[in-house]
Amino acid sequence: MNTEPHIITTQVGIVGAGPAGLMLSHLLARAGIANIVIETRDHSTIQTTQRAGILEAGSVRMLTDTGVDGRVLTHGHRHDGIDLRFNGVSHRLNFQDLVGESVWLYPQNEVFVDLAAARKRDGGDVRFSVTDTEVLDLESGVPKMRFTDAGGQRVEVHADIIAGTDGSRGICKRAIPATDRTDNFISYPFAWFGILTEGPPSAPELIYANSAHGFALISQRNEHVQRMYFQCDPEEDAGAWTEQQIWDELQKRVDGPDGFTLQRGPIVEKTVLPFRSYVCEPLRHGNLFLAGDSGHTVPPTGAKGLNLALADVKVLSEAVESFYGTGSRDLLDGYSAKALERVWKAQNFSYWMTSMLHSREDQSSFERKRILGELNSVATSRYGQQYLAEAYTGWPHG
Ligand code: DHB
């Protein structure tokens, strides 16, 4: 067997074909910048992995304005607000009224499908199912990606820039020497139990519910499939729960004097989602640039993960375009600081939503009542509602 790698030269090598990597590839290709994307998973694994379902207004515009596809507008659902529910009472936040924006319910796996289709349509070079991936020579002028392609051929890509968009467990961040990065990290004593259920929606918009029994989120997917979550122990065994137990637990957390009742149906998927907050600083090492989950992770409350990844990619693509257009590295040098501004705002928002909505096992009566005071401060104040609405629908892209 020929073990000599096949060498390919390009401008930008992209590690990871999730939404961040594919969007970066798409934007660079539109600017005439050659790039190759590699991915260890296959297309159908990514397509069928359940992730969050809310797109900020700016994320939707990135998809529609750059010619990815308008499917988000025809198959997604515009939501003009959410319900914040506590003490069994719902308080609607009307985003249009508060900040003149909406969000779209359109699951991340559909965003992936649209981006992958757009890259295929436009002749993009996206290689799924690669193995033995490495990034090397990151501090040199010719950083490289090495991998074995789906056909067994060893390949080495020589580039000017490598983008690490390979998620929270990817190889790129770990390729930065520990002495050259700061890992900012916190863990939480809870997780989410997520279900997909068949049946009609229980509510027209999302309900974020705080209760003495813990948090619940009532979300949707379409007319026939719904998505819901409830706070659970990180070690919870999803398989041990019967449908009846799951529905009773969810219902308990949304019970109230209005008699709100969940629409029960067959549960077709159950998973436990871990909770972490993490930021790698800086988001750069030599000619490696991290974007999305590969550089930072937020807990799911508020659905910032994908939106933050797309915002990073916008900043990074502009920096790369500027480099090729002018020869100046200024925007590349400023990428990490610029992206981190939004990252830390989103970290704060996700942490705040998480702390305000979840309960801790050892919670004192003081803490329980303080949280209710906090929820009340938000729900009964236009200023409080506006902060939440602005962060939830997404700060303007710079
Ligand atoms: C969904 C997930 C979230 O984390 C969130 O805050 C809102 C919606 C979802 O999967 O639908």
Residues 264 and 125 in one domain: no
- Say if pTM beats, i.e. exceeds, 0.85: yes
Mutation test residue for ligand 1: of 55, 219, 350, the one with most atoms within 8 Å of CB: 219
Question: Is residue 379 one of the residues assigned to a domain?
Answer: yes
Residues 124 and 25 in one domain: yes
Count up the domains in the chain and report the number: 2
Residues 208 and 293 in one domain: no
DSSP code at position 205: S
Does 188 participate in catalysis according to the annotation? no
Question: Is residue 249 one of the residues assigned to a domain?
Answer: yes
Atom of ligand 1 nearest to the CA of 353: 6
Question: Is residue 94 one of the residues assigned to a domain?
Answer: no
Residues 337 and 370 in one domain: no
Q: Which CATH number goes with the domain that contains 222?
A: 3.30.9.10
Q: Which CATH number goes with the domain that contains 43?
A: 3.50.50.60
Residues 149 and 60 in one domain: yes
Residues 19 and 37 in one domain: yes
Provide the residue-wise pLDDT of the chain in tens; the chain has 398 residues.
Answer: 557 899 999 999 999 999 999 999 999 999 999 999 999 999 999 999 888 889 999 999 999 999 998 899 999 999 999 999 999 999 999 999 999 999 999 999 999 999 999 999 999 999 999 999 999 999 999 999 999 999 999 999 999 999 999 999 999 999 999 999 999 999 999 999 999 999 999 999 999 999 999 999 999 999 999 999 999 999 999 999 999 999 999 999 999 999 999 999 999 999 999 999 999 999 999 999 999 999 999 999 999 999 999 999 999 999 999 999 999 999 999 999 999 999 999 999 999 999 999 999 889 999 999 999 999 999 999 999 999 999 999 999 97
Question: Is residue 228 one of the residues assigned to a domain?
Answer: yes
Residues 143 and 69 in one domain: yes
Residues 68 and 156 in one domain: yes
Residues 205 and 296 in one domain: no
Residues 296 and 148 in one domain: yes
- C-alpha span between 334 and 329 (Å, rounded): 9
Residues 137 and 251 in one domain: no
Question: Is residue 239 one of the residues assigned to a domain?
Answer: yes
Choosing from 106, 278, 335, 392, the catalytic residue is 392
On the 0-12 / 13-18 / 19+ scale of CB atoms within 10 A, 108 is buried
Residues 381 and 305 in one domain: no
- Residues having CB closer than 6 A to ligand 1 are 52-54, 206, 217, 219, 227, 300-303
Question: Is residue 84 one of the residues assigned to a domain?
Answer: no
Q: Are strands 154-158 and 182-187 parallel, antiparallel or unpaired?
A: unpaired
Does 335 participate in catalysis according to the annotation? no
Question: Is residue 257 one of the residues assigned to a domain?
Answer: yes
Question: Is residue 164 one of the residues assigned to a domain?
Answer: yes
**Domain of residue 384, residue span:** 188-275+358-393
Does 300 participate in catalysis according to the annotation? yes
Max CA pair span of the chain = 72
Q: In what order do the strands lie in the sheet with 207-210?
A: 89-94, 81-86, 207-210, 216-220, 225-232, 191-198, 267-273
